Amino acid sequence: MRTQQVYFLFSLLLITITSAAGGLTPAKSQPLPGGYTPINNISDPHVIEVARFAVEEHNKQDDAHLLKFLRILKGWSQVVAGINYRLIIAAKPINCNGKVYHYEAIVYERPWQHFMNLTSFELIK
């Protein structure tokens, strides 16, 4: 009798703990909103397309400092209502002889609408 009560209390406790934990931690199968995760393959043609878009957009917005895209050095992505890409890009100003600079670009994409927007593009010092 006493043992059964202990078991009952213990299982109640377990249920409480698991439901509390379930309320606090997002389900494993869902993407974690708010977090950037590293892009494993920065040679992925779509990721390169995003980086090229970032440099082209930068060139449209700042035509006094035109850049030529060279390569992606590093990248992260974030699933929102769409995807944010954060890419470290090597590019060189087309009017200077050869010096390569690194830039951090953030591009927002809604793939199902073929929509991309350059959120920010900054020189890394």
Ligand X SMILES: *[C@@H]1O[C@H](CO)[C@@H](O)[C@H](O)[C@H]1NC(C)=O
Contacting ligand X within 42-81 (CB under 6 A): 43-45
Cβ atoms of 121 and 57 closer than 8 Å: yes
- Which residue among 11, 16, 61, 117 contacts ligand X (CB under 6 A)? 117
Q: Which is nearer to ligand X, 16 or 43 (by Cβ)? A: 43
DSSP 54-114: HHHHHHHH-TTS-EEEEEEEEEEEEEESEEEEEEEEEEEETTSSS--EEEEEEEEEEGGGT
Minimum distance, C-beta of residue 25 to ligand X, in the bound complex (Å): 30
Decide if residue 41 touches ligand X (CB under 6 A): yes
Interacting residues with ligand X (CB under 6 A): 41, 43-45, 117, 119
